[in-house]
Amino acid sequence: MSAAWLNEAGGLRYHFRGLRYAENLWAPFRFALAEWLYAWQPPEKKLVVVGASGGWCVQPFFFERFTDVLCLEPDPVAHFLFRRRLARAPLEARPRLRFESRDHLLADPTALVRLLDGEGDVAVLFMNILGQLRVLFGADAADDAKLARVREAVAEATRSRSWASFHDRVSGAMAPQIEQPARSAVRLTDAEIVRRFFPGVEPEAARADGSGELLDHLTGGFFPADRPHAYFSWELMPGVFHLIEATCGVRRASPAG
């Protein structure tokens, strides 16, 4: 994999887009996502963010509820941008920020479980990282072995703590027809995604190999399908749209140990 600040799923190219579009083109998605995240009320006061990048998609006030925020992000430029965005925001309370550059997801996904266990009573937020794994791994099918290892680790990591994730479901040149956040009691199937948000398109339009009108980002199976899900439209750059899927859970009992 290339240097973190040059990788295909983010890096400098993504930061340039954030600087250019976060306050205008991305604003509808960012505000709708903020509403959804506000409703997630984990009891934990510490948060681990997986794939923090520069924090472009999340409103800074979200972090006010936590005393400590640990960002797992290999890109050193992202550390600077994330810290600067929070420093400039008019927050009533500011968490203690820490950054971890070592990989805890790709080479050895079980490292994420060990880190979270070592941090103690923490919630975890997967910040638009899981939909990028097909790019980072070069995967072209849901049964890719590397994706399977991450799915297993994510299931273990979220078993006894509060968690949330927003991630790419599909992307392409078609704008989803959506009033966001679009909510569902369960995760929508591929056919339901196409029928609900891309009317008039063939059900087989979303394909993992990129041959269809929509690219499937292979994010099925990371979280229980029977959980409530929400969907958002994110115009990443003019004419390029990502349908974002989000789901979460709140810890109901004290974590083991």
Tell me the pLDDT tens digit for each residue of 224-254.
Answer: 999 999 999 999 999 999 999 999 999 975 5
Residue 126 included in any domain: yes
Output DSSP code: residue 209. Answer: T
What is the distance between the alpha carbons of residues 30 and 69, in angstroms, rounded to a whole number? 20
Interval 109-130 mean pLDDT: 97
Burial of 110 per CB tally in 10 Å (0-12, 13-18, 19+) = middle
Confidence of residue 69 (pLDDT cuts 50, 70, 90): very high
Residue 234 included in any domain: yes
Residue 255 included in any domain: no
Q: Which residues of 134-165 are buried (b: 16+ CB within 10 A; e: fewer)?
A: bbbbebeeeebebbebbbebbeebbebbbbbb
Interval 28-32 mean pLDDT: 97
- Structural domain span for residue 22: 4-249
Residue 100 included in any domain: yes
Confidence of residue 211 (pLDDT cuts 50, 70, 90): low
3-state secondary structure 129-170: CHHHHHHHHCCCCCCCHHHHHHHHHHHHHCCCCCEEEEEEEE
Residue 257 included in any domain: no
Domain at 83, CATH number: 3.40.50
Residue 254 included in any domain: no
Residue 256 included in any domain: no
CA proximity to 63, closest of 35, 92, 106: 92
Residue 132 included in any domain: yes
pLDDT tens track for 149-206? 999 999 999 999 999 999 999 999 999 999 999 999 999 999 999 999 999 887 677 6
Provide the domain count of the chain. 1
